[in-house]
């Protein structure tokens, strides 16, 4: 195949490109410039898609003997990922920018351009497995459960999966990838993995959002509506948060309280007991299927609501209102805006963005 290898400058994408070359494919490397801040540099494991990363990707391509280009996707990234991140927080939801980047940049904008240029597939260093099943290509978990990234790839559609290539899916551990990079003479063999949100490299999400959303004082209330404190901006709070609440009224039972809900229209934060974080049902109108769509009605599945959360058995319902999911045991601390990925064993069925939740604990409990 003619393969476009997305090379982030890290060890995973470098080894993925190397394996594509070794498999006999015609490979071209490309690094995506996602920021126009020319002085952006990496600090340890913080940040990605920096000048340093672009140089590391180029050196890896040179070692592999493949052509290499840098494509400027900064405007698309700003509009489709960064602006979406800010808008979601303004709406009181908790977004996942990595999901949006995969959905709108790596496997939409990049893949579209690759196909236009005559490439058969985009290759990345994601840990996930592709299987050609009876109904087309399927997305499955990686062999290494600790590195499995099928959750953040759950937004991919059947058409996109038909043009993807994940050479690392069957790799038993990350240590094997690093050892292979060392043996191939790739300078990124021991480079730290990226953490946190790539466009907030200092990790101060609250401060970053305050500069863009603005700080406006509001009330913190309990589940009955009684005011128990104040805050400087609802955007700074997420469901499940315990610290930094600055509550002036202690709970009747003296136990800690947690953020249960963020209401952006009234700039209000709702807090309550730990057990009130239990969620009996989630639902969403925005969904997609990683292959053949399920038939309308109920179907059994497992659901994962965070990148490293354990999947839980559940019943899903597909109807004209969207997708509703009822877990066998309540979820813990689910926030609107999060993504729920549905699985059938190791296979990804699809995903939904959570719009609505139902607490497992009544208000008067």
For tokens 């610290």, the residue is 243
Residue 301 annotated as catalytic: no
| 362 contacts: CB under 8 Å, gap ≥ 6 | none
For tokens 């994601």, the residue is 126
Q: How far apart are the first and last CA of the chain?
A: 60
**Is residue 78 classed as helix, strand or coil in its secondary structure?**
helix
Residue 250 to residues 257, 291, 365, Cα–Cα distance (Å):
9, 50, 18
- Nearest one of 334, 357, 59 to 181, comparing CA atoms: 59
Q: Dihedral sign, CA of 39, 44, 46, 48?
A: positive
| Token reading at 350 | 């699809």
Reported as type and span, the H/E element at residue 20 is helix 11-22
Rounded Cα–Cα distance for residues 218 and 236 (Å): 12
Rounded Cα–Cα distance for residues 39 and 262 (Å): 36
Residue 198 annotated as catalytic: yes
Write down the catalytic residue from 49, 123, 198, 301: 198
- Nearest one of 119, 118, 125, 14 to 66, comparing CA atoms: 14
In terms of DSSP bridges, do strands 121-123 and 2-6 run parallel, antiparallel, or are they unpaired? parallel
Residue 192 to residues 45, 78, 174, Cα–Cα distance (Å):
5, 25, 12
Alpha helices in 171-286 (DSSP H): 174-183, 205-213
Q: Dihedral sign, CA of 226, 230, 235, 239?
A: negative
Write down the catalytic residue from 48, 49, 98, 101: 101
Reported as type and span, the H/E element at residue 86 is helix 83-90
Residue 263 to residues 90, 221, 240, 344, Cα–Cα distance (Å):
10, 11, 14, 34
- β-bridge mates for residue 303, sequence order: 312, 342
Residues taking part in catalysis: 101, 198
């Amino acid at each position: 195949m003619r393969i476009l290898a997305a090379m982030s400058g890290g060890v995973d994408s470098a080894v993925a490109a190397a394996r594509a070359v070794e498999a006999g494919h015609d490979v071209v490397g490309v690094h995506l410039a996602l920021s126009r801040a020319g002085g952006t540099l990496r600090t340890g494991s913080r940040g990605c898609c920096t000048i340093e990363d672009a140089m590391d990707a180029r050196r890896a391509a040179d070692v592999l003997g493949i052509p290499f280009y840098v494509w400027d996707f900064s405007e698309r990234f700003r509009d489709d990922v960064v602006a979406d991140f800010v808008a979601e927080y303004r709406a009181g939801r908790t977004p996942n920018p990595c999901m949006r980047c995969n959905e709108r940049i790596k496997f939409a904008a990049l893949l579209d351009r690759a196909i236009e240029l005559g490439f058969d597939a985009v290759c990345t260093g994601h840990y996930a497995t592709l299987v050609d099943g009876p109904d087309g290509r399927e997305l499955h978990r990686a062999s290494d459960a600790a590195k499995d990234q099928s959750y953040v790839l759950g937004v991919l559609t059947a058409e996109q999966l038909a043009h993807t290539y994940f050479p690392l899916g069957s790799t038993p551990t990350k240590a094997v990838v690093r050892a292979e990079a060392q043996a191939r003479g790739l300078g990124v063999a021991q480079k730290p993995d990226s953490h946190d949100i790539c466009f907030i490299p200092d990790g101060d999400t609250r401060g970053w959002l305050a500069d863009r959303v603005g700080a406006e004082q509001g009330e913190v209330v309990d589940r009955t509506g009684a005011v128990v404190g104040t805050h400087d901006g609802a955007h700074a709070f997420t469901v499940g948060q315990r610290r930094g609440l600055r509550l002036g009224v202690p709970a009747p039972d003296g136990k800690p309280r947690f953020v249960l809900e963020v209401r952006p229209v009234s700039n209000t934060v709702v807090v309550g007991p730990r057990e009130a974080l239990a969620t009996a049902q989630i639902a969403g109108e925005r969904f997609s299927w990683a292959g053949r769509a399920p038939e309308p009605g109920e179907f059994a599945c497992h659901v994962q609501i965070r990148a490293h959360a354990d999947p839980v058995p559940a019943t899903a319902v597909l109807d004209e209102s969207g997708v509703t999911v009822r877990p066998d045991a309540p979820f813990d601390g689910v926030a609107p805006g999060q993504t729920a990925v549905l699985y059938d064993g190791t296979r990804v069925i699809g995903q939904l963005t959570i719009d609505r939740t139902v607490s497992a604990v009544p208000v008067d409990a």
